[in-house]
Amino acid sequence: MAYDEKMAYQVRELIAKRTDNVVEKAMFGGLCFMVEDKMCIGVKKDNLMLRLDPEVYTEEIEKDGRKPMIHGGKVVMSYLFLDYDQIHTHSDLIHFVNLALDYNPHAPLSKAKQKMKG
């Protein structure tokens, strides 16, 4: 599995300051942090995957170093990849991790998990 272990450690520490309801899963060629049973943040070799509020996503996707998540040939709204070179300081990392964690309580469960609960 190719992901940045130093970045994963930093993200893990930041998430732990806000919640202990997190599971780490190998996913998308990286490490995904599932918070409250929802995909929240992923760490890859060269970028972070962030699940963001749709309004925040719309603002962020227009900036340099951001790419949409594409699955099955379609853009997956609210998920974006952020190149590591756009994270200049630890404060920047805190900001991006908090954007994802702030949206997580409002993010819907996956359709499969909705069926399991319903």
Q: What CATH number did the domain enclosing 112 receive?
A: 3.90.1150.30
Q: What are the strands of the beta sheet with 47-51, ordered from one edge?
A: 22-27, 30-35, 38-43, 47-51, 74-83, 66-71
Q: What is the pTM of this model?
A: 0.91
Residuewise pLDDT in 10s, the chain (118 residues) = 589 999 999 999 999 999 999 999 999 789 999 999 999 999 999 999 999 999 999 999 999 999 999 989 999 999 999 999 999 999 999 999 999 999 999 999 876 555 566 6
Three-state DSSP class for residue 74: strand
Q: What is the pLDDT of residue 87?
A: 97
Cβ atoms of 30 and 1 closer than 8 Å: yes
Full residue range of the structural domain in which residue 67 is found: 5-117
pLDDT for the residue 109: 87
Q: How many domains does the chain have?
A: 1
